[in-house]
Amino acid sequence: MLLEIDVEKRLGNFVCRIDCRLEAHSCGVFGPSGSGKTTLMNLLAGLMQPDRGRISLDGEALFDRQKGINVAPEKRRIGVVFQHAYLFEHLSVRNNLLYGLKRTPRELRTIDPEHLYGTLDLEHLLDRRVTRLSGGERQRVALGRAMLASPRLILLDEPLTGLDRALKFRIIPHLRTVFSEFSIPYLFISHSHQEMRLMTENVLIIERGSVERLSSSEELARSSIFSADRGYANFLELADRHDCGNLLTYRWGKNRLTGVKNTNAPEYATFSLNARDIVLFKRHPEASSARNILEATVRATQRTEWLVRVEMDCCGSTLIAEIVPQSMEELGIRAGAKIVAVFKASALHRLT
Amino acid sequence: MFTLSNDDLTAIRLSLQVAATATLISLPPGIAAAYFLAFAKMRGKALVEGLINLPLVLPPVVVGYLLLLLLGRNGWLGGMLADFNIRIIFTLTGAVIASSVVGFPLLVRSIRIGLEGIDQHCIQAARTLGAGWWDALLTIILPLSGRAILAGMTLMFARSLGEFGATIILAGNIPGVTQTIPLAIYQYTSIPGGDRMALSLCLVSISLSFVVLLASEAVNRTMSRN
């Protein structure tokens, strides 16, 4: 996907001026509420018309004030998944899903409905009325509906915001699988850095109606706005669940981590580990109640407002801990130093 | 005791014909007007709204008289139509026009409430899925406001069955041509010994209205079930 935008739109006192060039399979759009994220989405989808400027997707102009081009929303082939699913209540789930497909010329259809139903786990819902769906099911139907129109780009406008936390993280793997399987580019609009990190690597940061900068979701999570109060969250991809009686172990890169046992623990999942839950030791602690003890090499240190952030390499995997400056001096932590990172099994929280 | 003369049967047929025609021909402009009132953002909307609703508050006789002035032989529109040999006053067409104008605000009001209940995002979603404006209108907007449209049609049909004031002025009271049930009742009440005949027609009128209500309720229930 190559998306070039240079537009201006005035809405009352609010002026939205977006000028950027995105070249990636997926990108997040991040900003506080009222920063112009949804306006940007409306401008891209053709639901709102810019006052001036131009928008082009993969070299094809969608809007160009000077040349008088303004492609109608139904001709842009840009799908939208709104915050509330906005399913058509007079149609069944199946007919909602097929609405866009029926309006897509045969030669442009790239997605097989049966295949998609399987991936999104929709088969058992097809004959249901949309009023009988749960929040998560509605969003999955909305996503399926947008995808079946075989769009060139899908805009996801805070699709997870209305869902509760547990459900939200259960849907994210679905989303990722679907997008990678059908290779449809997407823009993921959100004000949650956690969702951002799970969904995309690149992030367009928008503030007060204009592009602040293009960044990565990892960098966004490390920036002080989010970690100042609660600490940075490490996201660990754990796999190979192994049951050891009353604990579970998982493989994390080349390491093995121990987590608390619970019912229906997944085979693999993303877990979060707060940087402030990690204790650093100079040498291997002989005995500790904490189950996870990892040898690590310090890669870099960085002062935040009151703390020091220590980036470590644990056999090739990256872990970040936050400690007070005094500890750093006493332990002699600097780039290249060998240390031991320790955290409790219960510090690992399952996300997805 | 309950007897209906041939003229009465004709009056019933004419009533149904006028009400059905008026409702059906008003439907497309009614939907358009409701759409305009529900979604348009422009100056002068309040003026248009007032104009559409005016027949609701004006005495029907006034509406009838204004229509007569407009469509009469010397009227602005009537004169033009006369050149094409089209006559409206004292014809069934006149009765249909009178009913249409009087019932129109009821139709528009109902449909408008239905349209306003539709979330604009649903229409936007349809557009991004490849539906053009007309496509979205036919497959999303109208089905979603189906019950409101039905309610409006019922109201208008019932109102047209009972239309008297505007009709008698524009179409007159000609038995077999423009005499609908209310006009026939009016005529019976003004002749000696017509009470029984008037009462018979009143019973017909009551049953008709009742059937309309029941039928619309039944359709409404099926629609909400689907």
Q: Name, in order, each residue with C-beta under 8 angstroms of A231's C-beta and a sequence gap of 6 or more.
A: A274, A275, A276, A277, A322
Sheet holding A308-314, edge to edge: A279-281, A338-343, A292-303, A308-314, A317-323
Contact B130 A149 (CB under 8 A): yes
Tokens of B97: 């026009």
B121 touches chain A (CB under 8 A): yes
pLDDT, position A228: 64
pLDDT, position A168: 82
User: Measured between alpha carbons, how far is A250 from A94 in angstroms, rounded to an integer?
Assistant: 39
Q: What is the pLDDT along chain A (352 residues), one digit of tens a residue?
A: 899 999 999 988 899 999 999 988 899 998 888 888 889 999 999 999 999 999 999 989 999 999 999 999 999 999 999 988 899 999 999 999 999 999 999 998 888 899 889 888 889 999 999 988 988 889 889 999 999 999 999 999 988 887 877 778 878 887 888 888 888 999 999 888 888 888 888 999 888 888 888 888 888 888 766 656 778 888 888 888 888 888 888 999 888 888 888 777 778 888 889 989 999 998 888 788 888 999 999 999 888 878 888 999 988 899 999 999 898 888 888 888 899 999 998 898 888 7
* Cβ neighbours around B125 below 10 Å, total: 30
Instruction: Select the residue of B121, B127, B131 nearest A82 (Cβ to Cβ).
Output: B121
Instruction: Read off the pLDDT of residues B82-99 as tens digits, 9 standing for 90 and up.
Output: 888 888 889 999 999 999
Handedness of CA B125, A79, B127, B150 (dihedral sign): negative
- Count how many residues are written for chain B: 226
Over 90: is that where the pLDDT of B78 sits? no
Contact A74 B121 (CB under 8 A): no
Q: Counting beta carbons within 10 angstroms of the beta carbon of residue A95, is it exposed (0 to 12), middle (13 to 18) or buried (19 or more)? A: middle
Mutate to test the interface with A, among B118, B121, B129 (most CBs of A within 10 A): B129
Tell me the sheet residues that pair with A17. A8, A210
Q: Counting beta carbons within 10 angstroms of the beta carbon of residue A186, is it exposed (0 to 12), middle (13 to 18) or buried (19 or more)? A: buried
Q: Measured between alpha carbons, how far apart are the two ends of chain B, in Å?
A: 45
Please report the domains of chain A, with CATH numbers, ordered by start residue: 2-222 (3.40.50.300), 233-350 (2.40.50.100)
A149 touches chain B (CB under 8 A): yes
How many angstroms away from the CA of A89 is the closest CA of chain B?
Answer: 8
Instruction: State the DSSP string of A217-269.
Output: HHHHHHSHHHHHHH--EEEEEEEEEEEETTEEEEEETTEEEEEE--TT--SSE
Instruction: Read off the pLDDT of residues B4-53 as tens digits, 9 standing for 90 and up.
Output: 888 899 999 999 999 999 999 999 999 999 999 999 888 888 999 999 99
Instruction: Kindly give the interhelix angle for A135-148 and A165-182, rounded to the nearest 10 degrees.
Output: 20
Q: Name, in order, each residue with C-beta under 8 angstroms of B162's C-beta and a sequence gap of 6 or more.
A: B182, B205, B209
All structural domains of chain B with their residue ranges: 6-225
Q: What is the CA radius of gyration of chain B?
A: 20
Contact B125 A104 (CB under 8 A): no
Instruction: Read off the pLDDT of residues B152-202 as tens digits, 9 standing for 90 and up.
Output: 999 999 999 999 999 999 999 998 899 999 999 999 999 888 888 999 999
pLDDT, position B18: 95
Share of chain B above pLDDT 70, in %: 99
A49 touches chain B (CB under 8 A): no
pLDDT, position B1: 55
A98 touches chain B (CB under 8 A): no
Contact B128 A88 (CB under 8 A): no
A80 touches chain B (CB under 8 A): yes
User: Measured between alpha carbons, how far is B34 from B113 in angstroms, rounded to an integer?
Assistant: 8
Q: Which residue has the tokens 């229409």?
A: B123
Tokens of A106: 């045969």
The CB-based long-range contact list for A327-336 (8 Å cut-off, 24+ gap) reads A327/A280, A328/A301, A331/A280, A331/A281, A331/A282, A332/A282, A333/A280, A333/A298, A333/A301, A333/A308, A334/A298, A334/A301, A335/A298, A335/A299, A335/A300, A335/A301, A336/A297, A336/A298
User: Measured between alpha carbons, how far is A278 from A307 in angstroms, rounded to an integer?
Assistant: 13
Q: Counting beta carbons within 10 angstroms of the beta carbon of residue B49, is it exposed (0 to 12), middle (13 to 18) or buried (19 or more)? A: middle
Tell me which fold the domain B6-225 belongs to. Answer: MetI-like fold (1.10.3720)
User: Measured between alpha carbons, how far is B151 from B141 in angstroms, rounded to an integer?
Assistant: 16
- B178 near B95, Cβ under 8 Å? yes
